[in-house]
Amino acid sequence: MTVYAIIGGTGLTQLEGLTIHEALPLDTPYGAPSADILRGSYAGREVLFLARHGQPHRIPPHQVNYRANLWALKQAGAKAIVAVNAVGGIHAAMGTGHFCVPHQIIDYTSGRAHTFYEGDLEHVTHVDFSQPYDRQLREGLVAALRAENAAFSDHGIYGCTQGPRLETAAEIARMERDGCDLVGMTGMPEAVLARELALPYACLALVVNPAAGKSSALITMAEIERVIEQGMGTVKAVLARVLSN
């Protein structure tokens, strides 16, 4: 049976309904993960849960130890990963409260430890990253969103920026020219590290604000938190459907 791991981002530092059997304070060759890996049951299935930004929410996107997080999940027995991400909307279809299951990603980050294949290697390894997200997992998320009657897009290009600051309007305009539909700060190197560990990986993105320059209103954390609170019910229902299927 596939053991799913859920990586919770901003707004999902805890998974309501998760019956915790044990907390695993794992160590890895890359240091400690963001928080203990929680092993439990959710929607009748064994599941692993990790709060990407720590518990409490304290680790900014550029300082998340992505290598330790992915290594620890693999070590704990994960066979597939669903990542939940709060993002900004660039494309007109990606309005506040909209969900997206992205199919592609562009990496604008810098200075992040982004591979396991470095140091004293016996040989150079390249992984195929043409399709960064697992097709079967994406289809499961799309089916679950459809069953929940959620407003969603079944594809999109996620642009990952460095953070922790939000982007300038000019940067968003450039990303839009590049084809990005969404902007976030945690999609990379998480996705490619999962690929290097041969872990199927997909993203469930919730649009929590218009990207810079896409609205005349000021982007505030209070508004972002309000949208997250409204959207988390759907996130949890979608996760339950994916797990139970």
Pick out the residues of the known binding site: 10, 52-53, 185-186, 209-211
CA atoms within 13 A on the CB side of 100: 32
Q: Helices 135-147 and 221-244 meet at what angle, rounded to 10?
A: 110
Annotated binding site for substrate: 185, 209-211
Annotated binding site for phosphate: 10, 52-53, 186
